[in-house]
Structure 1
Amino acid sequence: MKIALIGASGFIGSALRAEALSRGHSVTALVSRPERLDTEPGLYIVKVDVQDTKALTEQLRDFDAVLSAFSGHAQQDVQGYFAKGFDSILTAAKDAAAKRLLVVGGAGSLEVAPGQLLIDTPSFPAEYKATAEGARYALNQLRAQSAVTWTMLSPAAIIAPGERSGQYRLGSDQLLLDAEGNSQISVQDFAKAMIDELESPAHLNRRFTLAY
């Protein structure tokens, strides 16, 4: 497949890039800093400002899918930058007639009890709240529209470097916990699940999650 990957040099974006390339897909990395990526077979690197909707629209044409690992965590106004950037991505995907939009979500918008989201619990870490609010905003924007076929994958509460085991559980809108009450996933297994979804769609116009 021909994939446009936004945020291809970031923590999760790098894992998605590696997973997609390992399966023989053609990946066009849309990044703000091309110098952070090395050339390799199947990878095309394009500099783009996500906030420039017109330019982004032109870059998103003629792909089988758009993957967004966009994040505003390095910005001063994380939540505002994320929301503005995601609005631009969604508009560009619509205007470019993108066939599918797959989005990296957050764990904060997952339910821990009926009607209660993880982000709204007293124990939610303050340092992650702005990013989580941005991801919640993105999910709400996706659910409110019908012009673009979308999927969002929310990770477990903790996502970190680890192994690509392929041994994990999938869920929908509820935070998944193991027998000890932990919610974890490796970034490598997250990437596997996302590219699996790309190749064999099972959650069209829905959010899903995963954890060990």
Structure 2
Amino acid sequence: MGVDGLLLLLYGFVAAVFGVSLPGLLNMTAVKISQQYGYRDAFTYICGALTVIFFQTYIAVFFSRLIDSSPAITEALHEIGLVIFTCLTVYFFFFAKRKEKKKSKEATLKRKNPYLQGLLLASINVFSIPFYVFLSITLATYDYPIFEQLCAILFSIGVVFGSGLMFYVYIYFFKKVTREDAFIIKNINYIIGSITAVISVIAVFKLLR
């Protein structure tokens, strides 16, 4: 494995900690599931999300080999992400709350599979791929062997560990519900909708540059 492999594991961990530290779709949804259904469902959701995050990171390393010759790949990812997050913004602002009210009595009977929910939300969160593509290229310029298969896997594992840590930090932070937290939980759909709206605006600016 060597020193370079351990360093890439550490770099992946640190990058994920910083990348997931801000409120986002995945970590705020983890909070929501934890508050509504408990830690077991939240853990299952996190496992689903981390499964996709691992493969997204590994794919990002692969894309980083091609990105210099084909920058259109990154632009295409931004365009896909813009459409997805715009749809999510509309959903969380206008439909999610109504849907929750209608199904409040049936919540215990009809509950989404949290693992599949984690897989789905992480899959549509494609903005992490360009981030790790850029980071992979940067590490390669400093002669880290990130394009080697084992090193790419170690880097991806580091990202998984860092992401998992931040998911649990968010869940722990909201464990004891105060008045302020109760307001956040009550309006969490609007918070998630606002986050996706901000991401959509950023994507528009990047595409127009």
Higher strand proportion (structure 1 or 2): 1
Q: Which has the higher contact order (CA 8 A, sep 6+)?
A: 2
Task: Name which one, 1 or 2, has greater alpha-carbon Rg.
Answer: 2
TM bracket, shorter-chain basis: under 0.3
Higher helix proportion (structure 1 or 2): 2
TM-score, length-scaled by structure 2: 0.24
TM-score, length-scaled by structure 1: 0.24
